[in-house]
Amino acid sequence: MAQAVDVVCHMTVDIADTTPHVDYEGTRYYFCCGGCAKSFQENPTHYVNQNKV
């Protein structure tokens, strides 16, 4: 099963049809729960920018 890292809490999550996700600027971000997805939606640039090197 494919996995992704939740950019809010940094947990590794399994990607499935029911995995919470948000599409932002052409990228799909997956989350461990709806709460992390909501936090991301409220301030996506904070989470995207903190993960860029």
pLDDT for position 52:
58
pLDDT of residue 53 exceeding 60, the answer is no
pLDDT for position 1:
86
pTM: 0.89
Cα angle value 46/51/26 (rounded, 5°): 75
- Count CA atoms within 13 Å of residue 1 on its CB side: 9
> Residue 21: what residue type?
H
User: What are the domain boundaries of the chain?
Assistant: 3-50
pLDDT tens for each residue of 2-51 = 999 999 999 999 999 999 999 999 999 999 999 999 999 999 999 998 75
Phi-psi region of 25 (alpha: psi -120 to 50; beta: other; left: phi over 0): left
